[in-house]
Amino acid sequence: MEDPQGRIKLRDGRYLAYKERGVPKDDAKFTIVLVHGFGSSKDMNFNASQELVNEIGIYFVLYDRAGYGESDPNPKRSLKSEAYDVEELADRLKIGSKFYLIGISMGSYTVWSCLKHIPQRLAGVAMVAPVVNYRWPSIPKSLMPKDYRREVAKWSLWIAKYFPRLLHWLMTQNMFSTTSMLEKNPVYFNDQDIEVLKHTKGFPMLTKEKLRERGVFDTLRSDFLVAFGDWDFDPADIPELFPYGPKKSSSSVQIWQGYEDKVMPFQLQRCLCRQLPWIRYHEVPKGGHLIVHYDGVCDAILKSLLLGEDLPMYRPKNVIVETGTKS
């Protein structure tokens, strides 16, 4: 069921809000579902040029994940529910048996879940500045002691799981909850990120005013718990979705990572991609966590994902490949 307000009714009775961008659905050559990240919404900025979108013929569907924006919360949120929300959205909007999927930051865990649970629906996938769960068995312990983010994630997860009221109180205190703390703190963002945040809305759901709303806090908490809690699969065990052989497929699974990302280190992405060599890995040389906002990056993602055109500037440097040499 679809309503005129841009929402669909799911089988469990929840409503999922969405918006459409790009060329009209019936005229499109490519259909892409965009999955927003933590504290964001369907109003996120995917910085692709309109000229390219029109030229290639891309129809975008952006939606509010459960509890975000105008979508109803899901008290039973899980890895599977995130994937099935995407599938049901695609079915209700009749966008076809296969579609492309792009996940931003924490929205990438929805993409991993789709790769696991609804791979037959995917024409190609890109994850941009994706989160990494330190509980994945595929992440070697040798990388973890060097990464302070592991301890931050560990204790944040523990507090969020067992002491939600304490966390809610902490996040609504002046010292913890201002948007400016996130936007100006070099612990989280590099110079390019901070420059981007001068011209964007930043993180509208992470302000003190919004966090005081219990529904907003509960949504963010449940999202965090699923993303960084125990998974029922390890991404490294996902089989190759688009086999590379005599009948070469133009479809692919891609990861786009900033070399200077201070939220998720590039070393973890490289490690995962060595275990899954069929992932096409791209690295933005001076990119932080907000590469989706950088000029030219989204166009490069679209050209690579849809047309197979890769720019040399996004090839990672000094990566150990199968031969044991560097490229």
- Residue 180 confidence (pLDDT): 45
pLDDT tens, residue by residue, 24-40: 999 999 999 999 999 99
Range of weakest confidence among 35-44, 109-118, 235-244, 286-295 = 235-244
Distance from C-alpha of 307 to C-alpha of 273, rounded to nearest angstrom: 21
pLDDT tens, residue by residue, 11-24: 999 999 999 999 99
Look at residue 279 and give its three-state secondary structure: strand
Dmax of the chain from CA atoms?
Answer: 60
Instruction: Read off the pTM.
Output: 0.89
Mean pLDDT over each residue of the chain, to the nearest integer: 86
Range of weakest confidence among 26-30, 203-207, 221-225 = 203-207
pLDDT band at 178 (very low <50, low <70, confident <90, very high): very low
Q: Which of 35, 86, 31, 36 is nearest to 53 (CA)?
A: 31
- Tokens in use for 95? 């966008």
Q: Is the pLDDT of residue 321 over 50?
A: no
Q: Is the pLDDT of residue 255 over 60?
A: yes
- Residue 323 confidence (pLDDT): 29
Q: What's the CATH number where 131 sits?
A: 3.40.50.1820
Range of weakest confidence among 161-165, 174-178, 208-212 = 174-178
Distance from C-alpha of 305 to C-alpha of 280, rounded to nearest angstrom: 10
Q: Is the pLDDT of residue 221 over 70?
A: yes
- Residue 231 confidence (pLDDT): 96
Residue 214 domain flag: no
Residue 218 domain flag: no
pLDDT band at 177 (very low <50, low <70, confident <90, very high): very low
Q: What's CA 70's distance to the chain center, in Å?
A: 19
Domain that holds residue 289: 2-135+232-314
- Residue 74 confidence (pLDDT): 97
Q: Is the pLDDT of residue 200 over 90?
A: no
Q: Is the pLDDT of residue 183 over 70?
A: no
pLDDT tens, residue by residue, 75-120: 999 999 999 999 999 999 999 999 999 999 999 999 999 999 999 9
Q: Which of 235, 295, 277, 287 is nearest to 256 (CA)?
A: 287
Q: Are 31 and 74 in contact (CB under 8 A)?
A: no
Residue 153 domain flag: no
Residue 185 domain flag: no
Q: How many domains does the chain have?
A: 1
Distances (CA, A) of 217 to 152, 164, 165, 170, 222: 19, 9, 10, 12, 9
Q: Is the pLDDT of residue 301 over 60?
A: yes
The predicted model gives 249-274 an average pLDDT of 90
Q: Is the pLDDT of residue 189 over 50?
A: yes
The predicted model gives 192-215 an average pLDDT of 80
Residue 140 domain flag: no
- Residue 160 confidence (pLDDT): 81
pLDDT band at 144 (very low <50, low <70, confident <90, very high): low
Q: Is the pLDDT of residue 232 over 80?
A: yes
Residue 187 domain flag: no
- Residue 153 confidence (pLDDT): 76
Residues of the chain with pLDDT > 70, as a percent, come to: 85
Q: Is the pLDDT of residue 210 over 90?
A: no
Residue 23 domain flag: yes
Residue 293 domain flag: yes
